[in-house]
Amino acid sequence: MDTYKKNDNENDYKYYVLQIGRKYTYVGLCGLHKPISVFVTPNIFVYNEKFHNFVEDTYKVNEMMDYINRKREEQYQNEKSEKMLDVSKDQSKEDIKIVTDNQTDECLDKYQSSDNLDYNNEEFVCDTNNIYENKKFCDNEKKHNKMRIYHYEYKYNQDLYLWRTYFDEYIFHIFHNIFIKTNNKSKKVILVLNMFIPTIIKYALCISLIENPEYACISYINDLISPLYLCNYKTCVVIDLGYINCRILPIMDGVPLYHHYTYVNNGGFYINQEIKKLLKEQYMSRYKKRENIISINGDMKLCLGNYDNSKYDDNINDDNKNDDNKNDDNKNDDNKNDDNKNDDNKNDDNKNDDNNNDNNNMNYYLNLYPLEEIINVINNMTDDDIEIIKIKYCYIKKDSENIPCNKYVLYKYNNYDIIIDPYTRYKACEILFEKEYDQNMYSLFSSIVQKINIFETYIFSNILLVGGCSNIKGILSRVAQIFSQVLRNEKKFPPKFQDNVHFLLSNISPNLRQFVGASICSSMDNLPDYTAEEILNNVLYDHLNEDIYMTFKT
């Protein structure tokens, strides 16, 4: 049963299924294989853009880290001497969190245990903003190699009241729209939870639902467990390529190995930031060249990205359909005129004319607007606007030797014609694999491989990709390549283990696999119920904190 009809019997859909992600929210009814509604999740985290802007300048980032460390240490010592237990924190200011993998580092342990900075101190705020002008130096460069830099923090931190208010308003909005669509009045909600976000956020969400008079109880399931109900495998590695995190969880014989859980700060949000950055760079670099604004080979093409022109749309779709065969696609494009043997000269002349027209078109659109104007337009593009560009026109090369697509895209946005060059189209997604500070896919795989013992290696026989970034064209082959590199570098795996690795595929879109898996699971009636009683006796909070009932049951 895949679609909902208003005249269906309510008993056919006993429960709502709700997944609130950090980019999209999916809501539907159990037993359906797609959500009824999809919402853009209101801002749930605060991002520090300084790190993205300066990520290529390692020295400047290290300067910032060292300076923040000293300020944290000074404040920590002051608090200790004055015996102050509570420090006010202004949520509107940016917070930079630093942890270390080396727990013996006495200095950094203090920062991990004392995470509050006095943002009311004007000297600190001013110095932080001007750190690059002041050119402060690092005392110990080796220390920075042990650091993991976090680029974001949750919007309301540990404030239960603010989170309650946030979810109360958002849940009303969600189910008000669902009721209008379906007239369904299910009394139970199945939550698809990211169990690794702070417990206070999960707890606030559950309370908002339980204390709502429209619903009698809730149940929840781990969003890294629910996809197993699609493939019915008890042993596999689930990889969630999400919005701000790429997460990996091994599951052995139905039991999640939570002590092996690993994640990196990377994902769709960082790709979107990179797209915006590259769009601006392509205009700035070509503006400097003036007349020599662009140099292209004879086979470069200009495609109209979102114009109502079937010819150009066909070119784009063919180009992005199979990233693994890009060399063949380019070859076919180069030689397509050779099919007409009797008209070689005529075809060559036509091809030269087309190339000249493409050159003229490119120069025209790149010089169409003043630099400052087009940069402002790109800066004002929302994350949702960039998301459209990512989904439609960006892709991932299989490897460094794979020739990228040679087609430009002309994207129409708010009456502006924006050029998206081939470099931007493939380079933006490379941040998943090239990001520094051990925050890339290779680090994700190697970290978990180092954690498992030789008797657990067989869990990698099955790998399941979920999450929005799993929809990027070419992602599967590139992830397989990265995992092969890890296998070659690690000595735990038996010979030719790579031949036994299976990437589990499903007809369900990767970004919906967690939701649909939970929908199937909820139909089995094997999830525990939580009511107001579990709130009063703290059972709900303890279970959320300890991740109870999260094994894979069939």
Domains of the chain and CATH, by start:
10-44+159-228+512-546 (3.30.420.40), 49-150 (no CATH), 230-267+433-508 (3.30.420.40), 276-421 (no CATH)
Q: Are strands 462-466 and 236-241 parallel, antiparallel or unpaired?
A: parallel
DSSP code at position 452: S
If one counts every other C-beta atom within 10 angstroms of the C-beta of residue 525, the result is 10
Q: Which residue did the predictor score with more confidence, 110 or 17? A: 17
User: Which is nearest to 434 in space by CA: 55, 51, 146?
Assistant: 55
Structure confidence at residue 374 (pLDDT): 92
Contact 198, 158 (CB under 8 A): yes
Least confident of 396-405, 465-474, 515-524: 396-405
CB 429 within 8 A of CB 472: yes
- At 171 the pLDDT is 92
From CA 355, how far away is CA 296, in angstroms rounded?
10
Amino acid at 224: L
Q: What's the whole-number mean pLDDT along residues 489-507?
A: 86
Q: Write down the pLDDT at residue 294.
A: 43
Cα separation, 94 vs 166, whole angstroms:
20
Helix 199-210 to helix 539-546 angle, to the nearest 10 degrees?
140
> Which percentage of the chain shows pLDDT scores above 90?
31
| CB-CB neighbours of 515 under 10 Å | 29
Residue 91: CB atoms within 10 Å: 13
- Count CB neighbours of 101 within 10 A: 12
3-class DSSP assignment, residue 280:
helix
β strands within 257-305, DSSP E: 262-264, 301-304
Bridge partners (DSSP) listed for residue 26:
19, 38
Triad 491, 495, 498: Cα angle to 5°? 95
Provide the mean pLDDT of the chain.
Answer: 73
**CB 311: neighbour CB atoms within 10 A?**
9
| 499 pLDDT tier (thresholds 50, 70, 90) | confident
CA–CA separation, 224 vs 246, rounded Å? 12
Q: Shortest CA distance to 426 belongs to which of 390, 456, 454?
A: 390
Mean pLDDT along residues 340-355 = 52
pLDDT of the residue at 390: 93
Q: Any idea what DSSP says for residue 104?
A: T
Helix (H, G, I), strand (E, B) or coil at 388: helix
Question: Where is 326: in which H helix or E strand?
Answer: helix 326-335
Q: Is 94 left (phi over 0), alpha (psi -120 to 50) or beta?
A: beta
Whether the pLDDT of residue 489 is over 50: the answer is yes
Query: Tens of pLDDT along 437-482?
Result: 788 999 999 999 999 888 888 999 999 999 999 989 999 999 999 9
Model pLDDT for residues 155-206, shown as the tens digit of each residue: 888 889 999 999 999 999 998 877 777 776 677 899 999 988 889 999 999 9
Of 532 and 12, the one with more pLDDT: 532
Find where tokens 């890009």 sit. 326
Q: What is the DSSP letter of 91?
A: T
* Residue 530: DSSP 8-state: B
Q: Return the beta strands (E) in 79-216 as ranges.
A: 97-100, 147-150, 152-154, 188-193
d(CA 428, CA 395): 9
3-state secondary structure of 126: helix
In order of 65, 276, 392, 398, the CA distances from 317 in angstroms are 44, 22, 9, 18
What CA–CA distance (Å, rounded) separates 444 from 262? Answer: 7
**Residues whose CB falls within 8 Å of the CB of residue 77, separated by 6 or more in sequence, listed in order:** none
Q: Do residues 99 and 148 lie in contact, with contact meaning Cβ atoms separated by under 8 Å?
A: yes
Q: What is the pLDDT of residue 479?
A: 93
Residue 370 backbone dihedrals phi, psi, to 5 degrees: -60, 150
CA 430/CA 151 separation, integer angstroms: 18
Mean pLDDT of 346-358: 55
> How confident is the model at residue 305, as a pLDDT?
60
54 and 123 Cβ atoms separated by less than 8 Å:
no
**For 282-306, what is each residue's pLDDT tens digit?**
888 877 665 444 444 445 555 656 5
Condensed to tens digits (0 to 9), the pLDDT of residues 10-62 reads 445 678 899 999 899 999 988 888 899 999 999 888 776 655 554 444 445 55
Token pair in block for residue 477: 């082959």
Residue 105: left if φ>0, alpha if ψ -120 to 50, beta else—which one?
Answer: beta
Q: Is it the case that residue 419 has pLDDT exceeding 70? A: yes
When pLDDT is averaged across residues 220-247 and rounded to a whole number, the result is: 91
**pLDDT level of residue 349 (50, 70, 90 thresholds):** low
Sort 375 into a burial class: Cβ within 10 Å, 0-12 / 13-18 / 19+.
middle
Three-state DSSP at 497 gives helix
Task: Report pLDDT for 49.
Answer: 61
Report CA torsion sign: 221, 225, 226, 228.
negative
Which of 119, 143, 137, 138 has its CA nearest to residue 129?
Answer: 119
C-alpha dihedral (275, 280, 285, 286), degrees to nearest 10: 100
For residues 317-346, average pLDDT:
46
* 3-state secondary structure string across 179-223: HHHHCCCCCEEEEEECCCCCHHHHHHHHHHHHCCCCCCEEEEEEC
Higher pLDDT, 114 or 513: 513
CB-based contact 305:413 (threshold 8 Å): no
**With a threshold of 0.85, does the pTM exceed it?**
no
Which of 132-136, 487-491, 516-520 is predicted least confidently?
132-136
Which tens digits make up the pLDDT trace of 91-109? Answer: 333 333 333 333 333 333 3
- Give φ, ψ of 146 to 5 degrees: -95, -5
pLDDT of 520 reads: 87
Contact 190, 16 (CB under 8 A): yes
Lowest average pLDDT, out of 68-82, 145-159, 330-344, 501-515, goes to: 330-344
Which stretch of 73-87, 153-167, 244-258, 518-532 has the lowest confidence by average pLDDT? 73-87
Q: Are 406 and 301 in contact (CB under 8 A)?
A: yes
Per-residue pLDDT, 402:
62
Q: Averaged over 395-401, what is the pLDDT?
A: 75
Share of the chain above pLDDT 70, in %: 62
267, with CB counted inside 10 A (0-12, 13-18, 19+), is buried
Per-residue pLDDT at 362 exceeds 80: no
